[in-house]
Amino acid sequence: MATEKSQVYHERQRLQFCLLHSLNSLFQQKDAFSRASLNAISERLALDGSNSGTTTWTPLSVLFKPHHNSLTGNYDINVLIGALEEKGKSVVWHDRRNTASSIDLDVPEDILMGIVINVSVRRFAGIWKSRHWIALRKIDGVWYNLDSDLAAPQRFRDAQEVREFLDFTIGHGGEVLLVMNGKQS
């Protein structure tokens, strides 16, 4: 956790490891998660799927795993949830039929750790379409956009600006996930 004298921790984008960068930025720790730990979660999820008889092996299965791409990352929601649960966190999927005003951004940080959003992105002049993970976190009473595509963390003016950002995200097909400290009933 940052203090007034320290910097807000922020990782920059590499390949498609935005989930890794988002998690480390969310936890404000360089090695809260590693590529190896996320790959292990993905492999465990794949084994669970193959034991249920729902996974079919193909030659491309070496690179394109059910929950990530083994070369570039690109982890899915299942890996996010598994990683957060390993750290005692839970995920509440925001109902996109509601505006961001239904999210209590002023709840204490010991209840709401932060927000992870998943947005559609186009790269390489629009040729490559994929999804991108972004973490938002309240640090020392200030909300930050910790998007790994940004050169530095972006400070929000206030909770209203965060809500406007989230409403824009929802309006453009993004998903909003609340990261809660502890298990939610």
pLDDT at residue 71 in the model: 46
Give the integer Cα–Cα distance in Å for 11 and 4.
Answer: 19
Query: Could you give the CA distance from residue 138 to residue 120 in angstroms, rounded to a whole number?
Result: 24
Q: Side by side, which strands form the sheet with 128-139?
A: 89-93, 175-181, 112-123, 128-139, 142-145, 154-155
Pairwise pLDDT comparison (182 vs 31), residue with the higher score:
31
pLDDT confidence band for 161 (50 / 70 / 90):
very high
pLDDT tens digits, one per residue of 38-51: 888 887 866 655 44
- pLDDT tens digit string along 52-61? 455 554 444 4
Residues carrying an active site annotation: 18, 132
Q: pLDDT tier at 24 (50, 70, 90 boundaries)? A: very high
Does residue 62 surpass a pLDDT of 80? Answer: no
CA distance 165 to 121: 16
